[in-house]
Structure 1
Amino acid sequence: MNLLFDGIAWVLDPANWTGVGSIPERIGQHLAISAVVLAIASLIALPIGGLVGHTGRGKELAVMVSGGLRALPTLGLLTLFALWLGIGLQAPIVALVILALPPLLAGAYSGLESVDRRTVDAARSVGMREIQIIGKVELPLGMPIVVGGIRSATLQIIATATLAAYIADDGLGRFIFAGLKTRDYAEMLGGSILVILLALAVDGLFAITQRLVVPAGVRVTRTRELRSRPARPRAVVGRPITEGNRE
């Protein structure tokens, strides 16, 4: 418990919020690394996942590749790429992109696949082209699931981006590795607290976004369905009676 208080005190210490290598600077670096990784991974995974979800082809391969990438150890990949690319941010970015691909890929094809096929057939029957079906029907309706995949990938990136400090002097992970090296456990725990708080803040933003991207028509339909749901029968001895109905 004393270590926890020491970590909180380290975070609240004004001396750690100014100067070179300060907390705001490390947070900015951490967010920049995470944003670059998410952008690269999204450009790769989202189009592929969307195509799989729209056509229904290659799903088995996508699931297999996604599962295989999840099994890869990130620290091992980071070490391997560091030996190949050298010291710097190139190796962490490549390793984190590989980490982010599975949830993005799964979210993309699951989101488009979740759209009712009757809705897609109706769009085709009125003369919409395939690209229009994806952009105006499947993507809006499946967007909450797609955003869920982006949300999952972002949280994994933020949590694992601490490893970037293993071979580069960037990000919040620098506090953790520096504290471990010098046995300054307050700094080490303070860096961990900052990563947790950052992940929770980003997760909250994505939770709000996930609600906002639900199409207005879908929200209205869900509300009407909840209001028009029949009364729940309650089992009693003898015969069931319906709540709200009296004989």
Structure 2
Amino acid sequence: MDVLREALVWLNDPLNWTGRDGVVDLVRTHLLVTLLAVLLGAAIALPLGLWLGHRGRGATVGVVVSNTTRALPTLALLTILASSGFFGSTATVLACAVFAVPPILANTVTGLGGVDPAVREAAVGTGLSSAQRLWQVEVPLAVPLVAAGVRTAVVQVIATVPLAALVGGQSLGTIVVEGFGVQRYGQVVAGGVLVAGLCLLVEGLLALAQTALTPRGLRERAAAGRTRRRVLRPAG
């Protein structure tokens, strides 16, 4: 209870929120590093995912290879980058970009691969070129899954960025590391609460964005499917 009380006191101290290295400043840096890491991961995963999903061949291999990166310990990767001369935010962006690739790549491939073959055949029948079928038919139908992949990647990266503090980077993890350094465990808990709160906030905002990006027809079909399942579900 003493630790929780200390955490509340720390969070309610205005001096911890303002100025250089205050919570507001660290949140800004945390989000910037997250944005750069996700953009870098998306720059790799999206083109590759679109290519694999559109071709319909080699998709399984691509996803399996990307998912092997999940087995890489984040701290180990950060240490390797730091020993190679990459410190602070640079090391964190590179390391987190590696972990942003799998969900984006997997969902992009799955989204395009899940397009109804009859829809593809109809697009071919109308004379659309391969590129036109990709951008006018397949991508719009795959948007919900692609957006879900980006959403997952963003939340994962936000939760991973605090490790930046271990290689000299700035983030909300700085609060946690400094708390351990001076044995103020209330500050450690406060830092953890801030990271968790930021994850939940961003998750909620991205969920709204995902809904907005989903074509209206797909939203209505999904809603109809949920209604049908509730009607068919046996009572009791």
The two structures have a TM-score, normalised by structure 1, of 0.88
Structure-2 residue corresponding to 1:129: 129
Structure 1: unaligned runs, 5 residues or longer: 236-247
> Which residue of structure 2 lines up, in the alignment, with residue 245 of structure 1?
none
For 1:233 and 1:102, the matched residues in 2 are separated by: 35
Cα shift at 1:2: 3.1
Q: Which residue of 1 aligns with 2:8?
A: 8
Pair 1:171 & 2:166 matched: no
| Per-residue deviation, 1:176 | 0.6
Match of 1:238 in 2: none
CA distance 1:84–1:116, shift in 2 (3 Å):
same
**Quick check: which one's helix share is greater?**
2
Secondary structure at the aligned position of 2:21 is classed as coil
Give the corresponding residue for 1:21: 21
Letter of the structure 2 residue corresponding to residue 104 of structure 1: I
Q: Distance in 2 between matches of 1:230 and 1:32?
A: 42
User: C-alpha separation between the residues in 1 aligned to 2:6 and 2:56?
Assistant: 53
1:193 maps to what in 2?
193
Gapped regions of structure 2 (runs ≥ 5): none
Q: How far off its partner does 1:86 sit?
A: 4.0
Change in 2 beyond 3 A, CA 1:198/1:68: same
Partner of 1:30: 30
Larger radius of gyration: 1
Which one-letter code corresponds to 2:168 in the other structure? A
CA apart distance, 1:203: 0.3
Change (3 A) 1:233 1:56: closer
- Structure 2: distance between partners of 1:222 and 1:37: 32
What's the CA shift string for 1:220-244, capped at 9, x where partnerless? Answer: 4455667788974979xxxxxxxxx
| Structure-2-length-normalised TM-score | 0.92
Give the CA deviation at 1:192: 0.8
Instruction: Please state how far the C-alpha of 1:164 moved relative to its aligned partner.
Output: 0.8
1:223-238 pair list within 5 angstroms: 223=223, 232=232
**Count of residue pairs brought into register by the alignment:** 235
Q: What do the CA deviations read for 1:16-57 (whole angstroms, capped 9, x no partner)?
A: 112211110000000000000000100000110111111111
Partner of 1:150: 150
The Cα of 1:9 is off from its aligned counterpart by: 2.5
SS at match of 1:57: coil
The yes-or-no answer on 1:159 pairing with 2:159 is yes
SS in 2 for 1:20: coil
Q: Compared with structure 1, are the counterparts of its residues 194 and 124 closer, same or farther at alpha carbon in structure 2 (3 Å cutoff)?
A: same
CA distance in 2, matches of 1:145, 1:218: 11
CA RMSD of superposed structures (Å): 2.1
Deviation at 1:150, TM superposition (A): 0.6
* Percent identity over paired residues: 36
Contact 2:115–2:138 (CA under 8 A) maintained in structure 1: yes
Greater shift, 224-233 or 202-211, is seen at 224-233
Distance in 2 (CA, whole Å) between partners of 1:233 and 1:167 is 52
CA–CA distance in structure 1, aligned partners of residues 181 and 198 of structure 2:
23
Task: Measure, in 2, the Cα distance between the counterparts of 1:227 and 1:87.
Answer: 52
Q: Which residue of 1 aligns with 2:88?
A: 88
